[in-house]
Structure 1
């Protein structure tokens, strides 16, 4: 399937425990250490000040890009928590734009769904739908409409996110949202709009 270039954005949000490689602080620390070492090494070269300054600027820029890409890849490739494969019913509570100030048409067309579902503890929880719904399917997600979803097996993650089950593979998605799983970082990825889950059928790994 052909895909449009992905639009990935991390956001700051309160969440659960963090892996060292999905924590933005780890990558920022690596960037700072690398910048100091680069500065020490490049400024020690027997070159003019202007030349050393230019080389150092480019080196630090490349280090920043590399650390940023490493962080995003860590978030997007880390296995998600164990999924409870027993379908449950979620009720739509609210539909909102994924971004207050979208930069592209794809971002403008993506919608975030907030739902209520019954958790494994028997209580009702509010969570985000991990599937970002494309505007061509959004009319079906009216307030109080009911959808089959999967939740994570860990009851402490009941307020993070749930996923549409395979019974809704006809719904067109704009991409996916990961929230509450990597500390205070929220991560979203836009892809070419298509039907089918962006998580299930081998598209993402889950812890066993």
Structure 2
């Protein structure tokens, strides 16, 4: 029997913890590099180069991870009913190693203030839950206030599954210019993030 997938809150805390560990590692390497100038004998050139390269590598990982933790555009948390209209298969072309790792984005149609909008569910639904999203099935979603939902092209429009569907297993998300895969489990990774219209936690 496979172990249960971690829920969205646990996955989000793991991401935050990973960032803290990376920052602590970089600070430790900087301290090590600095101490190398004062200790006797001094650190050699190879040791200093190794520390610098390692610190730069970890800093690059931190910078990349920050993309997946930044504040997202404003979200309208009005529950709306979206009807599945089909699927789009993405990432179907082989990479440099000849591997193919496709995934499906679900196309939906919803009413936003009297206007029918063709969009896509931003979460990448895992295979074990994908069969539930048949054409014509309805799901409660949240829409973004700005162009991330109200895009010129339906292919660039995204909505997020509401908390009512936290039992659905996801394996990442696609926000047009930002895609994260591999974090499999129930619940929405996106709803764990901060949105531009959320209260500032520092004001509390």
Same fold, TM-score > 0.5, yes or no: yes
Q: Give the count of matched residue pairs.
A: 147
Looking at structure 1, the residues matched to 126 and 180 of structure 2 have their Cα atoms a distance apart, in angstroms, of 14
Deviation, structure 1 residue 144: 1.8
Structure number with the bigger relative contact order (C-alpha 8 A, sep ≥ 6) is 1
Looking at structure 2, the residues matched to 90 and 99 of structure 1 have their Cα atoms a distance apart, in angstroms, of 25
- Answer 1 or 2: which has greater strand percent: 1
Please name the residue that 2:190 is paired with: 199
Contact 2:119–2:149 (Cα < 8 Å) also in 1: no
Q: CA RMSD in A?
A: 3.4
Matching of residue 175 in structure 1 with residue 167 in structure 2: no
Matching of residue 113 in structure 1 with residue 106 in structure 2: yes
Structure 2: runs of 5+ lacking an equivalent: 12-51, 152-156, 198-204
Looking at structure 1, the residues matched to 150 and 110 of structure 2 have their Cα atoms a distance apart, in angstroms, of 8
Q: How does 1:91-110 map to 2 (within 5 A)?
A: 91-101=83-93, 108=101, 110=103
Q: How far does the alpha carbon of each residue in 1:122-169 deviate from its partner, in whole angstroms, 9 at most, with x for none?
A: 211122211110011111111121110000123673232100011111
Contact 2:105–2:120 (Cα < 8 Å) also in 1: yes
Structure 1: runs of 5+ lacking an equivalent: 7-58, 180-184
Looking at structure 1, the residues matched to 135 and 5 of structure 2 have their Cα atoms a distance apart, in angstroms, of 33
1:165 to 162, 167, 180: 162
Contact 1:109–1:135 (Cα < 8 Å) also in 2: no
Seen in structure 2, the aligned counterparts of structure 1 residues 166 and 123 have a Cα distance that, compared at 3 Å, is same
Looking at structure 1, the residues matched to 174 and 134 of structure 2 have their Cα atoms a distance apart, in angstroms, of 20
2:117 to 104, 118, 125: 125
- Secondary structure of the residue aligned to 1:140 is coil
**Which is greater in Rg?**
2
Contact 1:92–1:144 (Cα < 8 Å) also in 2: yes
Deviation, structure 1 residue 70: 5.8
Looking at structure 2, the residues matched to 102 and 170 of structure 1 have their Cα atoms a distance apart, in angstroms, of 32
